């Protein structure tokens, strides 16, 4: 056998004996064959909170993992059955009836559409007026629902037997850490709004700098004057206490004692134990600010909505519009709107040369008169309609999900903010030059129609919307964007979130703000100053004493 042949045979043998390449590059590079069990719980809030959270759950199921969705018996039947073919559903018994829940949400809807909550002092005004003094308020409902869940022995037994790897839930309800501790599993928070400084600075440990991070509902941007910064600092302090007072933490602490769920850790501190915090949004619109490693921005619906068929009559309405179409939706809240306010909207649309496609899941107030250019539909595949070439502008309340879907499509907006994050969303839209916001409490048909005409006619709004859309799409490392959420959920489930969780969450208020350090430094400086003054005083007395003895009085 020739030396050349021997050499070739040795090379082949070496290659066959060589270990696989991936075994030398780290375990994190090997595809993980394990499937995980996730418990999803958002039904206490419901509505858009559920639809956004279910997007990541569906992605996890597509990747082969198991998802169990937990519902209350007070949730509408259609919500419980919406994704029954995808998730395993568990329903716990609640003392709240579906009718009571519907009444609570309807009362909230009526309050929202008055516009009272769109200002900084709005919540205080609403409390003073007694707007929240219903037989059953949202805070009471959430506390009772949590008590019902933890007290449902059969449901809790079933959940414990599932041996979940992770709880994924909405951060709106303080019951989440109690449920996680009762099941002895970690949890992930899903937030349907952007990061709120006063709230998430405490719960998620986000760095807060009042000099350029605006507090909620102030109408401020990241560029503030001196007096705006003063206002921002005061508002931040106010809202820290507001969050603590409006959420009945003491009530949930009593539940921890009642069911012996780690009563030594308060509910407030338990909220800080989240392995991951997912916020809704994108830095294509959000003001730049520092984040923690375990806090991420995610687009829950934009760019991820499944394609659905647009009704034939709607397609024809869009295709044959000679001057384009104005898309309008206030979600389900318009059904609770006073007839006079709804008529102002209808009269404003009547003054437009465009067609108007009005989407509302609830019936319009009785007696409202619509113009011939307005078509009302109960349901639309909003993301697909927004992509239609004849849709020129989106008129909305500024809710995060529909807003980001419109921006994904490069569509300018006119906003009518009503409550919560909607005012902040539209502040950001105006700052980016993507749209204009209006005050629903002073709205007239002329103001509405003129504003819509301005946004449609001036090219800068459309150009800015397209720019934001391109930035938003380019920031996505995964497509569809909801895969980003699924990736991070799996990451902290596999490896836990300890390597991402900042130590600031384990510090108390004094330590986190270095107040103890400042007090110590001031005490040391005061001590040094005191010693120096004492020494100087003693020296002066001694010198004065000697001077007096060396120069006795002479008569």
Average pLDDT over residues 362-385: 88
Give the pair of three-digit tokens for residue 172: 């709106």
Q: Are residues 179 and 147 in contact, defined by beta-carbon separation less than 8 angstroms?
A: no
Closest to 302 in 3D by CA, of 540, 122, 469, 117: 469
- Write down the pLDDT at residue 134: 52
pLDDT one-digit tens code per residue, 393-435: 999 998 888 999 999 999 999 999 888 788 999 999 999 999 9
Q: Are residues 70 and 47 in contact, defined by beta-carbon separation less than 8 angstroms?
A: no
Q: Are residues 86 and 63 in contact, defined by beta-carbon separation less than 8 angstroms?
A: no
Whether 441 has a pLDDT exceeding 50, the answer reads yes
- Write down the pLDDT at residue 467: 96
Q: Which residues is 67 bridged to in the sheet?
A: 38
| Banded model confidence at residue 21, pLDDT cuts 50, 70, 90 | very low
Closest to 403 in 3D by CA, of 421, 379, 419: 421
Is the CATH number 3.40.140.10 carried by domain 312-475? no
pLDDT one-digit tens code per residue, 281-314: 999 999 999 999 999 999 988 888 888 889 999 9
Tell me the whole-structure pTM to 2 decimals: 0.83
pLDDT one-digit tens code per residue, 521-539: 999 999 999 999 888 888 8
Please state, in angstroms and rounded to a whole number, the distance separating the CA atoms of residues 128 and 554: 81
Domains 39-303+483-506 and 312-475 share a fold: yes
Please state, in angstroms and rounded to a whole number, the distance separating the CA atoms of residues 243 and 237: 10
| Banded model confidence at residue 159, pLDDT cuts 50, 70, 90 | very high
Name the more confident of 484 and 513: 484
Q: Are residues 376 and 346 in contact, defined by beta-carbon separation less than 8 angstroms?
A: no
Whether 484 has a pLDDT exceeding 70, the answer reads yes
Homologous superfamily (CATH) for 39-303+483-506:
Glycogen Phosphorylase B; (3.40.50.2000)
pLDDT one-digit tens code per residue, 99-109: 888 888 777 77
Residues 6+ apart with CB under 8 A from 201: 207, 208
Q: What are the contacts of 104-108 at 24+ separation with CB within 8 A? A: 104/134, 104/136, 104/137, 104/138, 104/141, 105/46, 105/47, 106/336, 107/134, 108/138
Whether the upstream peptide bond of residue 480 has omega within 30° of 0, thus cis, is yes
pLDDT one-digit tens code per residue, 42-69: 766 666 778 788 889 999 999 999 999 9
Whether 508 has a pLDDT exceeding 50, the answer reads yes
CA dist list (Å): 187 to 69, 205, 285, 489: 14, 16, 28, 10
Task: Look at the block and give the residue holding tokens 């020296």.
Answer: 539
Whether 219 has a pLDDT exceeding 60, the answer reads yes
- Write down the pLDDT at residue 547: 58
* Mean confidence (pLDDT) of the chain: 85
How many percent of the chain have pLDDT more than 90? 51
Q: Where are the domains of the chain?
A: 39-303+483-506, 312-475
- What angle is formed at CA 195 by the lines to CA 192 and CA 201, rounded to 5 degrees? 130
Average pLDDT over residues 80-93: 85
- Write down the pLDDT at residue 24: 35
Average pLDDT over residues 219-230: 92
Cα dihedral 510, 511, 515, 516 sign:
positive
Average pLDDT over residues 453-465: 96
Give the pair of three-digit tokens for residue 507: 């510090």
DSSP string, 421-454: THHHHHHHHHHTTSEEE--TTS--HHHHHHHHHH
Task: Look at the block and give the residue holding tokens 């418990």.
Answer: 39
pLDDT one-digit tens code per residue, 118-149: 777 776 666 656 555 455 577 788 889 999 99
- Write down the pLDDT at residue 26: 39
Average pLDDT over residues 225-250: 86
Residues 6+ apart with CB under 8 A from 272: 202, 203, 204, 205, 505, 506
């Amino acid at each position: 056998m020739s030396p050349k042949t021997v050499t070739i045979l040795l090379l082949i043998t070496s290659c066959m004996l060589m270990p696989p390449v991936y075994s030398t590059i780290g375990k994190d590079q090997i595809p993980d064959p394990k499937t995980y069990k996730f418990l999803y719980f958002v039904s206490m809030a419901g509505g858009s909170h559920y639809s956004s959270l279910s997007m990541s759950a569906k992605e996890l199921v597509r990747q082969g993992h198991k998802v169990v969705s937990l519902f209350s018996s007070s949730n509408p039947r259609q919500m419980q059955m919406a994704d029954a073919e995808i998730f395993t559903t568990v329903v716990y018994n609640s003392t709240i009836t579906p009718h009571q829940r519907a009444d609570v949400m309807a009362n909230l809807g009526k309050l929202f559409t008055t516009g009272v909550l769109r200002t900084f002092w709005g919540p205080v005004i609403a409390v003073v007026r007694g707007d929240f003094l219903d037989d059953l308020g949202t805070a009471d409902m959430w506390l009772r629902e949590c008590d019902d869940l933890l007290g449902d022995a059969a449901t809790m037994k079933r959940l414990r037997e599932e041996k979940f790897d992770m709880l994924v839930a909405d951060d709106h309800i303080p019951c989440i850490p109690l449920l996680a501790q009762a099941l002895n599993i970690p949890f992930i928070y899903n937030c349907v709004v952007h990061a709120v400084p006063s709230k998430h600075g405490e719960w998620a440990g986000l760095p807060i700098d009042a000099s350029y991070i605006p507090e909620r509902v102030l109408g401020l941007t990241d560029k503030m004057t001196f007096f705006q910064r003063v206002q921002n600092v005061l508002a931040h302090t106010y809202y820290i206490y507001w969050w603590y007072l409006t959420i009945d933490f003491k009530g949930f602490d009593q539940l921890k004692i009642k069911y012996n769920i780690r009563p030594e850790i308060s509910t407030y501190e338990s909220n800080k134990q989240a392995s991951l915090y997912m916020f809704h949004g994108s830095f294509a619109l959000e003001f730049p600010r520092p984040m923690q490693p375990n806090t991420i921005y995610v687009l829950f619906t934009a760019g991820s909505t499944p394609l659905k068929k647009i009704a034939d009559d709607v397609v024809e309405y869009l295709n044959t519009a000679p001057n384009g179409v104005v898309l309008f939706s206030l979600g389900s809240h318009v059904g609770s709107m006073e007839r006079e306010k709804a008529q102002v909207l209808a009269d404003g649309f009547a003054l437009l040369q465009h067609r108007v496609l009005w989407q509302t899941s609830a019936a319009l107030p009785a007696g409202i008169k619509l113009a011939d250019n307005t078509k009302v539909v109960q349901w639309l595949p909003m993301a697909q309609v927004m992509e239609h070439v004849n849709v020129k502008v989106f008129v909305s309340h500024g809710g995060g999900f529909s807003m980001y879907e419109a921006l994904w499509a490069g569509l300018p907006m006119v906003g009518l903010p009503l409550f919560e994050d909607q005012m902040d969303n539209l502040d950001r839209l105006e700052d980016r030059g993507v749209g204009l916001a209006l005050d629903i409490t002073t709205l007239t048909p002329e103001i509405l129609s003129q504003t819509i005409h301005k946004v449609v006619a001036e090219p800068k709004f459309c150009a800015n919307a397209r720019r934001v859309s391109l930035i938003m799409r380019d920031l996505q490392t995964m497509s569809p964007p909801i895969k980003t959420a699924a990736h991070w959920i799996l990451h902290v489930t596999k490896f836990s979130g300890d390597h991402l969780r900042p130590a600031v969450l384990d510090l108390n208020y004094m330590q986190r703000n270095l107040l103890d350090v400042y007090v110590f430094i001031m005490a040391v400086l005061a001590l040094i100053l005191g010693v120096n003054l004492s020494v100087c005083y003693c020296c002066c007395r001694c010198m004065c004493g000697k001077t007096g003895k060396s120069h006795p009085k002479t008569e």
